[in-house]
Structure 1
Amino acid sequence: MFKRPYFILLLFLVLSINSIKAQGCVAIRHFSSCVGSSLENNLLGTGDLQIGVNYRYFKSFRHFRGTEEEPDRLANNTEVINHSHAWDFFATYGISKRVYTSITIPTVINTRSSLYEHGRDERNVTFSRGLADIRFGFGYWLFDMEKSPNGNLALGLGVKLPTGDYNASDIFYNVGPNGEPQTRPVDQSIQPGDGGFGVTLDFQLYQKIATDFFGYASGFYLINPRETNGVRTFRETLSPILENEAIMAVPDQYSLRGGLSYTISPTFSSSLGARFDCVPVKDLIGGNEGFRRPGNVLSIDPGLSFMKSNFSINLNVPFAVRRERPQSFTDMQTEKLTGSPRNGDAAFSDYVINLGVTYRFSNNKVKLSPELEDTFK
């Protein structure tokens, strides 16, 4: 077991505490890598167990086409508004000092307010909630912690299971043949799951720069080989040119982050970095048919954490500084077919609230070497 909370705290801060979480956006839904990207959650002795929950919230409402915002959507009250809440319950177990395994069980509650999905004459709300896609994986620290106390690199491999409902439905108003309400699948952005088996690749890197200062970097990539999930979007009912967007796609997603952390005291620390979250236009594996909203967000990512004994609380609030909704694969198809420019839009948030609470059950038989402990006195 780690003897000194100060040592744990230093390592705890290196990756700015939180698992990687997507910046709020209609294109980019809640997701974190299978093996948690929180360094402190993964720096475990043999037999150590860490449990916790990460909560995320965002409100997406600012519409972008390319990198240009469309302020008229707000002025005309035609914006789409998503309120998204997610709770990731996770457990990480130290198989050895360098190998760890983790499972994440996510749950979500989402609402979506819009005009265009309800006949364009009145604003109504659709709703979804429940279990999302469970993730499971392993991670490995490349260097021995005792021999490399000032820096290390971990690589992770995991799977994403299609446990979340990807055909969640609600009532849509003014959409029937005679203007009556109909039950339809909710928008892709608030579906609890995506319907695909996925593979995640992730990494974590930290390096001591000076006393109480560490640099960190981390990232993950979700590979979703399935092309479409068979769920109808009803977008073709809005316009005939959207026929190629009638079925939902199962897109890839990735995130990168990096920055500096600073130890304020034995119990408090702070971090400041940047992050980039993205749903790409095309997948690494598989086809690209079906409807997706590709998008990316560059954010400034400040964080603050508290740790005492085996208990920790952390808060990160990334603020978007650049948002882009690029031309999708179906946009390109439509543009080629019609000869007219086509680039769909997406709604993004200004910020995301990430709050995590964790507790570690330490195996008392695991001891930190005196030499490594002395390094952090």
Structure 2
Amino acid sequence: MKNLYKILTAVYCIFLINADLHAQGCVAVRQMGGINAMSASSSYNLGKGDFQVGANYRYFHSFRHFVGDVEQPQRQTLGNAVNIYSHALDINVSYGLTSRIQLNASVPFVHNERSQTLTLDKDAANKALTRYSVRAKGLGDIRLGINYWVFSPEKSHKGNLMIGAGIKLATGAYGAKDDYLQTDGSMKNLVVDQAIQPGDGGVGFSLEFQAFRQLHHRIYGFANAYYMLSPQESNGIARSAPAKGLEGYEIFASPDQYFARAGAMIVIGKSKNLAFSLAGRFEGIPAYDVVGGSVAYRRPGYVVAAEPGITYRVGQHTFSLFVPYNFYKNRIQSAADKASQDLTNSTITDPSKFVFKNGDAAFADYSISLGYSFRISKAVKVPTWNVN
């Protein structure tokens, strides 16, 4: 008789830590990997004095432009679509303060590129486009967190609930600059777009929960979600000169962000150390913050994704691959869009001629997340019950 519970719960936890948000191109969601920096070994919780270390690499390429949930394929046809390439590496460390309380830290490093087009003066007659790139890289916003298992892991073998809180520090650059091509062919050092800045300049506070339950023998259901509050309205970095009547909306926002995920996993094979999962994901940034003002510039929006994944465990090592596919994308109206709309409509006397304004954003079709973790335990903890 094998101790299947030991394997199931250990493998399951890698699905919890990969609840990281993926920046969705121009909708500048900051990656939040490592909030629960646990994965796998002999149990789903860290024992008192146990450590876990690991890394998570993520990549995406955004290029599909949307206004609301309507794609703008003409951007591809005309060749002027904005392309964003994002690489991120999180270094995660978790420590078991007790068997129910874990302390977590995640240090992200990013390398972002934004490819865009410009018509040079010499090409104005034939409207030829020149494509060039700007980049930003370095340390991102460090996250610290604490999690608590509501039910004792020693007794709750078939399911449990975790609640947690975290803080996102403003350690990443939010005013990074690079050389921009000008119409006369010269270069000018300017602040890069909000979407590729390593940080957002604000301190954020997150609340989260995670839960799992054995559904049938080797099948488990799971869910996790969080919301990050960012009380700071903006970070003081201007994207452009202020427009008359819209002062403040040219400054980069430090926005809230949210994430939810639910699905099921199954462990297969004789050795029971290989697992497959399928989950649904919902993530994005809102147009208005819960706390603090929203007079600032942001590209709010969200995606709904299907996320297949695979996890393999050997000893104290765990490897994972997740590839969320974004099948629904929506660039919602921002506070700046609404303010501009109201300003325009204030000069129109005929309601039938009122305009609706909604900016666009580029989204990725999918992202790739590769993870690794290693458990450093004082002692191997073996549950006292078995599952046939």
Gapped runs of 5+ residues in structure 1? none
Matched to 1:367, the amino acid is: K
Q: Percent identity?
A: 37
The 8 Å contact of residues 18 and 316 in structure 1, kept in 2 or not, is answered as no
Query: What do the CA deviations read for 1:97-125 (whole angstroms, capped 9, x no partner)?
Result: 11000100000001000126999942210
Query: What do the CA deviations read for 1:200-231 (whole angstroms, capped 9, x no partner)?
Result: 11111000000100000001111111101011
**TM value normalised by structure 2:** 0.89
1:375 aligns with 2:372: no
Match of 1:256 in 2: 260
1:10 aligns with 2:21: no
Match of 1:166 in 2: 174
Gapped runs of 5+ residues in structure 2? 122-126, 346-354
Label 1:131 to 1:287 Cα distance change in 2 as closer, same or farther (>3 A): same
Label 1:268 to 1:88 Cα distance change in 2 as closer, same or farther (>3 A): same
Aligned residue runs from structure 1 range 120-269, under 5 A: 121-174=129-182, 180-234=186-240, 244-265=248-269, 266-269=272-275
Aligned partners of 1:82, 1:263: CA distance in 2, in Å? 36
Aligned partners of 1:235, 1:4: CA distance in 2, in Å? 64
Matched to 2:64, the amino acid is: R
Match of 2:73 in 1: 71
Secondary structure at the counterpart of residue 64 of structure 1: strand
Matched to 1:13, the amino acid is: Y
Matched to 2:58, the amino acid is: R
Query: What do the CA deviations read for 1:285-327 (whole angstroms, capped 9, x no partner)?
Result: 0000111000100000000010011001000000011000010
Matched to 1:193, the amino acid is: G
Question: Which of these two proteins has the greater Rg computed from alpha carbons?
Answer: 2
Aligned partners of 1:324, 1:46: CA distance in 2, in Å? 44
Matched to 2:332, the amino acid is: P
Candidates 324, 330, 336, aligned match of 1:330: 336
Match of 2:36 in 1: 36
Secondary structure at the counterpart of residue 369 of structure 2: strand
The answer to which of 184-193 and 116-125 deviates more is 116-125
1:284 aligns with 2:290: yes
Matched to 1:319, the amino acid is: Y
The 8 Å contact of residues 33 and 56 in structure 2, kept in 1 or not, is answered as no
Label 1:242 to 1:57 Cα distance change in 2 as closer, same or farther (>3 A): farther
Matched to 1:32, the amino acid is: M
Match of 1:25 in 2: 25
Aligned partners of 2:13, 2:218: CA distance in 1, in Å? 10
Query: What do the CA deviations read for 1:207-264 (whole angstroms, capped 9, x no partner)?
Result: 000010000000111111110101111275xx87876532111101111000000001
The 8 Å contact of residues 245 and 343 in structure 2, kept in 1 or not, is answered as no
Aligned partners of 1:232, 1:140: CA distance in 2, in Å? 40
Match of 1:88 in 2: 90
1:359 aligns with 2:374: yes
Query: What do the CA deviations read for 1:61-118 (whole angstroms, capped 9, x no partner)?
Result: 0000001000000111110000000000010011111100010000000100012699
Matched to 2:386, the amino acid is: T
The 8 Å contact of residues 17 and 305 in structure 1, kept in 2 or not, is answered as no
The 8 Å contact of residues 60 and 83 in structure 1, kept in 2 or not, is answered as yes
Match of 2:348 in 1: none
Matched to 1:141, the amino acid is: W
1:7: Cα distance to partner?
1.0
Label 1:116 to 1:208 Cα distance change in 2 as closer, same or farther (>3 A): farther
Matched to 2:100, the amino acid is: R
Give aligned pairs, total: 367
The 8 Å contact of residues 7 and 273 in structure 2, kept in 1 or not, is answered as no
Label 1:197 to 1:169 Cα distance change in 2 as closer, same or farther (>3 A): same
Secondary structure at the counterpart of residue 338 of structure 1: helix
1:343 aligns with 2:358: yes
> How large is the RMSD of aligned CA atoms in angstroms?
2.4
1:52 aligns with 2:80: no
The 8 Å contact of residues 28 and 196 in structure 2, kept in 1 or not, is answered as no
Aligned partners of 2:119, 2:45: CA distance in 1, in Å? 47
Aligned partners of 2:32, 2:109: CA distance in 1, in Å? 12
The 8 Å contact of residues 20 and 34 in structure 2, kept in 1 or not, is answered as no
The 8 Å contact of residues 14 and 215 in structure 1, kept in 2 or not, is answered as no
Aligned partners of 1:293, 1:118: CA distance in 2, in Å? 27
Aligned partners of 1:242, 1:123: CA distance in 2, in Å? 31
